[in-house]
Amino acid sequence: MNWFRCLADRAAMPRWVGASLTAMLLAGCAPQPTTTTSTSPAPSLAPGMARVWFLRQADPPGGNNYAAVPLVYVDRAALSQIAQGTVFYHDFAPGRYRLSAQAFGTYSGQHDILHLDPGEETYVQVLGVANWELGSTVGGWSFAVLPMSPEVAKQYLPTLADLGVR
């Protein structure tokens, strides 16, 4: 057995592995293409109505359930599904609305209450969250509908696939 050859092969492998890892790392830094399905801006809001934008980030800080496409509920009635990396809007009459999302994981009963005034535009995000972060004693994860500041939401909108009105 040629011990020098074995040592030379072992020494060459880390360089090959290092070069491969560097190439993969650089490929991950390349800008990702954004897709939009609606090329026209949302129509202006009808008088006396309020608009709610629902978004689900493509890569939220806490991670994502890529296979999960939860339903969004308004007053316990299904409105629409929302996939990762998408945004849609819905116009509502002014009033009080209960928003929630379909549980994927452990149901926690989480919901958000919106009070909408005429002419108001509100942004909410559908996010996978650990139940304990929402004050639930139930373990596991669920989707939550959480309010989002307009300034932050507007920065995400160009990166999301716009599904239009739902």
pLDDT in tens, 101-124: 987 776 767 788 999 999 999 999
Distances (CA, A) of 139 to 63, 99, 142: 17, 21, 9
| pLDDT recorded at residue 81 | 94
pLDDT at 35 over 60: no
Give the Cα separation of 108 and 120 in Å (integer).
Answer: 29
Helical segments of the chain, H only: 3-28, 150-156
> Shortest CA distance to 127 belongs to which of 94, 97, 153?
153
Residue with the bigger pLDDT between 64 and 68: it is 68
- Which of 111-120, 128-137, 151-160 shows the lowest mean pLDDT across its residues? 128-137
What is residue 69's predicted lDDT score, i.e. its pLDDT? 87
- For residue 162, the Cα-to-chain-centroid distance in whole angstroms is 13
Closest CA to 106 of 83, 87, 79, 133: 133
Q: How far apart are CA 17 and CA 25, in angstroms?
A: 12
β-partners of residue 142 are 129
For the four alpha carbons of 36, 38, 44 and 48, in that order, the dihedral sign comes to negative
Closest CA to 64 of 146, 163, 154, 141: 141
CA 113 to CA 82: how far, in whole Å?
A: 19
The token pair at 138 is 């139930």
* Stretch 86-106: mean pLDDT: 91
